[in-house]
Chain A
Amino acid sequence: MVPRSIYKIVMVVACVLSAHTAHGAFYSTGFDSDTLLAVPPEWTKSEGGINNIQYVDDQYARSPMQSFQFVQTTGIDTVYLNNQVFSSTTAGYFEGYARYNLGNNDGIFIGNAGAADLMILNFGGVGFDDLCTIETPVLNGTPNIATSTVWVYQKIYFDNTTGNVQIEVAGALSNLVQCFDPASVTIGSVGLGGQGSAAFDDVRYVSGAQAPVVQDFETVFNYTTNTRFTDLSITGTSTINMLAGYFLDENEIATNTPALNPSQVKFNISLRPSASQSGQGIDITPFVFGTTSSTSADFSGLADGIYDVFIHFSNLGEPFGGARPFPNSYVYSFFEISGGVLVDSGTPEIYNGVDEETPVYQDCSITQLGNCLVNILTFLFVPSAGALNKFTSLSDELRATVPFGYIFYLYDGLAGISIDGTPAFEMPELPFMADIFTPLRTGMAAILWAFFAFVFYRRLKTIDL
């Protein structure tokens, strides 16, 4: 039998390791969030496709990008190198940024070698087509798109040895572009009462050699389950502190193209039946994995009424028509009212089993006294989600504390041991080795099992039930 003192030591280690196992998945990949947003040393060139999505730097890093090439610089008003104004006459091979400021009735023009400029987008609703019609078939017939300042950043490679300029384009809308359809629009199973908003956060462009096309817009109408949608009926208050909880799965985010990852949690609120909405985006980088995090935004100056509310990741969780990049990550909302009364709130979506708020209270009235009693007991004994979620952060604290942190390392190291690895020393290959060691090993295994059976039998005999 295993001596009790050894058993106790092993048990302590085993208990610690199994306790770590509950959180172990969050530490298993060694993902470094700092590297996610790091500036890549150089963009990868491509002629279309969506595999060339890169961040530029932290300031301009919010947009997925595609590369293409052309040999003209027409339209570039200012060129920045390392955020400083850069002279294109400087010799050498450089990387820089050309900044465009596109306003209403402007479009984004992509030059094409040997051909006239091709306009692919027009934000005034004049010309080729408009954003909504292009990418949201459900909103076909929309007359226009709201004016929105558009900043376009182009990364430029100056190569004075060839005279070529290579440009990579990214676009970002400073505000949400809103599209409104007179017909009833449905987001998932939640009706919007004839009103909806499309958020084009990270506008993507891809260009082939001759035919630039637009693809991979992401809207709230793509049925992403990362969007929490509900409605609030408020009166007597002008301020709502809107909170969102979110969870990022490390293994999903780490395996993604960085540009597919969310950089913000976005709050949008719209008073029915107004066509306008207020929105705020809260930066959630650097990412925190393995725990439910929260962020909030204050909306003030609100009139009484019913508000449609949706909370979503900045990339809305899903490429248009593509696979969801992180199906296990989610964002959800809960609300606090400052100085007023929340009259009613719609039934929120339940996403991934995460309830909007805990505890859940029943309707309490003179005819429903039983519910009142339940509410009292709920108030007394059911902890809130926030109280429970705090414990997930203890794991991080434990990992950073001596000596417990080293036990995590020990666990990771033990989990990484493999007897199938490269041996530290090789036995010389002799022709008769297999004839000797194979039966020897088999025999030793049989002896070990027999010994264990004997010891275990004796142990069972002494057990006091």
Chain B
Amino acid sequence: MILESILWIFYNLVLTILQLLQLFGSVNEDNGIAQGLATLGDYLASINLVLPIDTIVTILVFELVFETVFAFYRVIKWLYQKIPGIN
């Protein structure tokens, strides 16, 4: 009951915000994002002959994963240190 009430409040809060935002307009399905990124892919395919795109992507993903894990670690550490008596 308690948890369900909290979930209900959270759900309706988010839903209300989303529906209010939808008053400003809906997502245009013909937005060209997919086409634009596909075109980008075509250019990357051209550059890939000289510049190792796969290596760059691998390095970026590795870096993102590392920083993400470290950020979570710092959050957990910060919460842990909020326990009274723990420095």
Contacts and interface: CB of A to CB of B under 8 A. Distances in A.
B84 interface: no
Contact of B67 (A11, A381, A391): A11
Interface stretch (A40-48, A247-255, A266-274, A443-451): A443-451
Contact of A409 (B3, B33, B64): B33
Contacts of B26: 400, 402, 405
B38 interface: yes
Given A449-B59, A452-B59, A405 B27 contact: yes
A7 B34 CA distance: 24
Interface string B21-57: 1101111000101101111111111101111111110
A7 B64 CA distance: 8
B45 A420 contact: yes
A437 interface: yes
A399 interface: yes
A401 B21 contact: yes
Contacts of B63: 2, 452, 456
Name the prevailing secondary structure of the B interface residues. Answer: helix
A419 B27 contact: no
A85 interface: no
A398 B19 CA distance: 9
A419 B57 CA distance: 11
B64 A10 contact: yes
A437 B49 contact: yes
Contacts, number: 138
B70 interface: yes
A381 B1 CA distance: 6
Contacts of A398: 18
A11 B41 contact: no
A419 B4 contact: no
B51 A441 contact: yes
Nearest to A464: B74
Specify which of B37, B40, B71 lies most central, judged by the most chain A CB atoms within 10 Å of its CB: B37
Nearest to A1: B63
Contact of A399 (B27, B42, B44): B27
Nearest to B40: A417
Interface stretch (A105-113, A176-184, A423-431): A423-431
Contacts of B11: 387, 390-391, 394
Interface in B1-17: 1-4, 7-8, 11, 14-15
Given A381-B2, A401-B27, A419-B41, 5 more contacts: A381-B3, A394-B14, A399-B27, A441-B49, A444-B51
6 contacts: A2-B67, A384-B4, A387-B4, A401-B18, A401-B27, A421-B38
